[in-house]
Amino acid sequence: MDSPGPLTLALVTARLAGTTGLLDIGGAAEYFAARETLKRWPAAFVLPAKDTAAPNPFAEGAIDQQVIARYGVILAVRNLRDATGAAAMADLATLRQALWTKLLGWVPADGFSPCTYGGGRLLELDEAAQVLWWVDEFDTEFHVRVI
């Protein structure tokens, strides 16, 4: 097999280490635990989002497919200084800019293309916990080859 293999999200988590403003960074397990017990704000969690593969052009034996690997970075923002949520939104904008600075154009490993922006959206506004959950998604491409 002549391909880099699936995207390892630990590479993304390591890339985000030291991002200004983030107090906690984790993966899927930490995200699900954080929904109940997160104590350090703001935080980011890296999760797989989707892999999309182009059709294989060969009939038998050989495989050569381009794969778009999409991953999400979920941000948890909490700002108790402002009941209107405006301060949390300002914090979110600052954190998103920091994410984009770290991830846009970054090449995760040999055989991958530079990361591009795939979109972002509000996941949840938890009024009880006063937490805003947002996800930004990023794409990188690689080839799967078996010839």
Give the amino acid at 12: V
Report the percentage of the chain scoring pLDDT > 90. 53
Quick: pLDDT tens for 106-141.
Answer: 999 999 999 999 999 999 887 777 788 999 999 999
Average pLDDT for the chain: 88
Stated pTM of the model: 0.90
Domains and CATH numbers, the chain: 9-146 (3.30.2000.10)
Give the amino acid at 6: P
What was the pLDDT predicted at 52? 95
The owner of tokens 């984009």 is 100
Residues 31, 141, 136: CA angle, nearest 5 degrees: 35
Termini Cα distance of the chain: 7
Distance (Å, whole) CA 76 – CA 74: 7
Quick: pLDDT tens for 28-38.
Answer: 888 888 777 76
What was the pLDDT predicted at 83? 65
